[in-house]
Chains A and B, each alone.
Chain A
Amino acid sequence: MSITYLEAIREAQARALAEDPRVFIYGQDVGAFGGAFKATKNLAQEFPGRVIDSPISEDAMLGLAVGAAISGMRPIIELQFADFSTVAFNQIVNQAATLHWRTKVPCPITVRLPGGGTSGSGPFHSQSLEAVYAHYPGLVVLTPATVEDAYSMLLEAVAIDDPVIFCEHKYLYYHLKAEALPTEAMPVGKARIARTGRDLTLVTYSAMVHEALAVAEELALEGFELEVVDLRSVKPLDTDTVMASVARTGRLLAVGEAWPWGGVTAEVIARVASEGFGLLDAPPQRLNAKDTPVPYHPNLWAVHRPTAHSIAVAARNLLQL
Chain B
Amino acid sequence: MAQALLNPETVDKVSAIRDEYVKAYRYMLLARVLDDKYASLYRMGKIHGGVFLGRGQEALSVAVGLALRKGDVFAPLIRDAAGRLAFGETVLDAVRTYLGSALGPMRGRDGNVHRGHPQAGLLPMISHLGAMISVVNGVLLAHRFQKVGQTVGAACIGDGATSTGAFHEALNQAAVERLPLVVVIANNQYAYSTPTSRQFACRSLVEKAAGYGMAGHEVDGTDLGACLSVVGHAVQQARSGAGPQMVVAELLRLCGHGEHDDAGYVDPRLKSSPLGRDCLKVAEAELLRRGWADAAGLASWRSEMVQLVEAAVAQVQREPGPDPYREDWCALASRHLAEGHTYS
Q: Which residues of A contact B (CB under 8 A)?
A: 24, 50, 54-55, 57-73, 75, 87, 90-91, 94-95, 97-103, 105-108, 137-138, 140, 160-162, 188-189, 235-237, 239, 271, 275
Q: Give bound CA distance, A97 to B128, whole Å.
A: 14
- Distance in angstroms from A47 CB to nearest chain B CB is 12
Residues in A with CB closer than 8 Å to B134 are 57, 59-64, 66-67, 91
Q: Closest A residue to B117 by CB, please name it.
A: A103
Given A63-B131, A63-B134, A138-B331, CB of A70 within 8 Å of CB of B139: yes
Asked if residues B173 and A105 are in contact (CB atoms below 8 Å), the reply is no
Apart from A67-B141, A71-B146, A103-B116, what 18 extra A-B contacts exist at CB < 8 Å? Answer: A57-B134, A59-B165, A60-B170, A60-B172, A65-B138, A67-B73, A70-B118, A70-B119, A73-B145, A87-B165, A94-B128, A94-B131, A95-B128, A100-B332, A103-B118, A105-B119, A107-B333, A189-B337
A185 to chain B, nearest CB (A): 15
> Is A160 a contact of B141 with CB atoms below 8 Å?
no
Give bound CA distance, A95 to B105, whole Å.
17
B138 touches A67 (CB 8 A): yes
Q: Report yes or no: A91 in contact with B131, Cβ–Cβ below 8 A.
A: yes
> Do B119 and A63 have beta carbons less than 8 Å apart?
no
Residues of A within 8 A of B339 (CB): 235-237
Q: How far apart sit A236 and B296, CA to CA, in the bound complex (Å)? A: 64
B142, A67: Cβ atoms closer than 8 Å: yes
How far apart are the CA atoms of A58 and B173 in the complex, in Å? Answer: 11
Task: Report which B residues bind A (CB closer than 8 A).
Answer: 73, 105-106, 109-110, 114, 116-119, 123-124, 126-128, 131-143, 145-146, 165-166, 169-170, 172-173, 176, 330-334, 336-339, 342-343
Q: Would you call B106 and A103 a contact (CB within 8 A)?
A: yes
Q: Is the CB–CB distance between A68 and B334 below 8 Å?
A: no
- Contact: B142 with A162, CB < 8 Å? no
CA distance A59 to B172 in the complex (A): 12
Partner of A236, one of B123, B145, B337: B337
| Contact indicator B135/A55 (Cβ below 8 Å) | no
B343 touches A57 (CB 8 A): no
Bound-state Cα–Cα, A108 to B333, Å = 9
On chain B, the residues within 8 Å of A98 by CB distance are 126, 331
Q: How far is the CA of A59 from the CA of B129 in the complex (A)?
A: 12
Using A162-B333, A189-B336 as known contacts, say yes or no to A55 and B172 having CB atoms under 8 A apart.
yes
> Are B131 and A90 within 8 A (Cβ)?
yes
Residues of A within 8 Å of B73, CB to CB, are 67
CB neighbours of B138 from chain A (8 A): 63-71, 75
When the two chains form their complex, are residues A67 and B332 in contact, meaning their CB atoms are under 8 A apart?
A: no
A102: chain B residues within 8 A (beta carbon): 106, 109-110, 114, 124
Q: Is the CB of B337 within 8 A of A60?
A: no
Q: Which of B116, B124, B337 contacts A188 (CB 8 A)?
A: B337
Give every chain A residue within 8 A of B176 (Cβ-Cβ): 55
Give the Cβ gap from B329 to chain A, nearest Cβ, in Å. 9
**Selected A-B contacts with CB under 8 Å, 27 pairs:** A55-B173, A58-B169, A60-B170, A63-B131, A63-B132, A63-B137, A63-B166, A63-B170, A64-B134, A67-B73, A67-B136, A68-B138, A68-B142, A70-B139, A72-B146, A73-B141, A75-B138, A97-B331, A100-B331, A101-B331, A108-B333, A138-B332, A140-B332, A140-B334, A140-B337, A160-B337, A236-B339
Complex-state Cα separation, A189 to B340, whole angstroms: 12
* Most B C-beta atoms less than 10 A away, residue of A71, A100, A275: A71
| Bound-complex Cα distance A54 to B170 (A) | 11
Inside 8 A of A161's CB, which chain B residues have their CB? 333-334
Measured between C-beta atoms, what is the minimum distance from A252 to chain B in Å?
Answer: 17
